[in-house]
Copies of this chain bind each other. A is one copy, B any other.
Amino acid sequence: MLTFERSGWEVTGNTFWGACLEFFDSLLRGIGQVMFQNNSYTGLLFLLGIACNSWLFAAAALVGAASSTAAAVALGAPREQVRSGMFGFNGVLVAIALLYFLTPSPLTWSCVVVAAAGSSVLMAALMELFKRWQLPVLTAPFVLTSLGFFLATARFGRLQSTQMLPTAGLPKSTLVEGVVTQTTVWEGTLNGVAQVFFQGSLLTGALFCAGLLLSSRSSAVLALFGALIGVVVAWGMGAAEPAIRAGAFGFNSALTMLAVGGVFLHTSRRSVFYAAFAAALAAVVHAALSAALAPLGMPAMTSAFVVVTWIFVLAARGFSGLRPSA
């Protein structure tokens, strides 16, 4: 029997189609978990947002979620974690990233399947490593697995990168480039939300916000506010206007604001200030990590969000003014 709930659906009884339906519900929750939403309708709206911009990436998202979730099931991961999409979100992002930065070919698609499955092993490893601090793994498996496959292109002749991958070069200081206008700010904010899934599209950003609204109003507000902070910090520090407008300084701050302000700490006025400080630093850390990866020609992806959120969640334990969420 199929029951519909606020956050997705549940099947009782043990039929083949029931199992398929449950698996599909887990995949959608995996897509939703990219922005911390254990909600398959939100996942569906995120998927729709991606498909609006590119069918290829929507297909990749599903393949990645399926591969990483199936690997977790095959190895015997705890059922409730699989069902809540915890073994899906890294696979989703790995798959989109590999097709964004590598030219599509049968080998690349095989790599997508293998890398997404590998991200589930890394997820389980980091969960085990962080258990004692109750520290969330976040998208670290996605970042590390993707970087591994991108770096391997320097040794493997059949794995070819697209022009999206930056050329390796030594970092050097830069000058202010372009003029930031009101359009830059609001496009940068909305694109920032869209860039969480590597999508540079205002419509996609809007659909992602709709997906967030569906499951949690405060999440949508925090994500947009976080992206805005990232844009404003980057503007003040003199980042290049095209990069700001494309959302390059928005996605890490959006995710950090969401994680620190809405998910892992008990919400209070102080915790929102704390999260805003984290979101501001995430923009600086993103600039730093992207420069640090320049000699390798590698993208920093969501590494700034991961690092800053780890630091702010851990630190909150030592501060009496902040409490972890129940």
List residues of A whose CB falls within 8 A of some B CB: 74-78, 107, 114, 117-118, 121-129, 132-133, 147-161, 167-177, 234, 236-240, 243, 270, 274, 277, 280-281, 284-285, 287-292, 294-297, 310-312, 314-315, 317-322
Contacts and interface: CB of A to CB of B under 8 A. Distances in A.
A156 B174 contact: yes
Contact of A152 (B161, B240, B284): B284
A128 B75 contact: no
Q: How many copies does the complex hold?
A: 3
The 5 closest A-B pairs by CB, nearest first: A158-B238, A76-B321, A157-B238, A157-B176, A76-B320
Given A75-B319, A118-B281, A170-B295, 17 more contacts: A123-B315, A124-B314, A125-B315, A128-B314, A128-B315, A129-B133, A132-B132, A148-B284, A151-B171, A153-B174, A155-B243, A157-B174, A157-B175, A168-B170, A170-B297, A291-B296, A295-B295
Contacts of A123: 315
A280 B152 CA distance: 13
A149 B284 contact: yes
Contact of A149 (B75, B288, B321): B288
Contacts of A152: 237, 284, 287-288, 291
A151 B292 contact: yes
Contacts of A159: 237-238
Interface centre among A74, A124, A177 (most CB of B within 10 A): A124
Interface centre among A126, A156, A172, A310 (most CB of B within 10 A): A156
A121 B74 CA distance: 40
A318 B124 contact: yes
B176 A158 contact: yes
A237 B322 contact: no
B319 A238 contact: no
A171 B168 CA distance: 7
A121 B308 CA distance: 10
Contacts of A292: 151, 296
A24 to B, nearest CB: 23
Nearest to A150: B288
A284 B237 CA distance: 37
7 contacts: A76-B319, A77-B319, A77-B320, A128-B314, A154-B174, A156-B287, A157-B177
A174 B155 contact: yes
A156 B291 CA distance: 10
Contacts of A151: 171, 287-289, 291-292
A311 B173 contact: no
Contacts of A122: 311, 315
Contacts of A290: 155
A118 B312 CA distance: 10
Contacts of A317: 124, 128
Contacts of A277: 117-118, 121
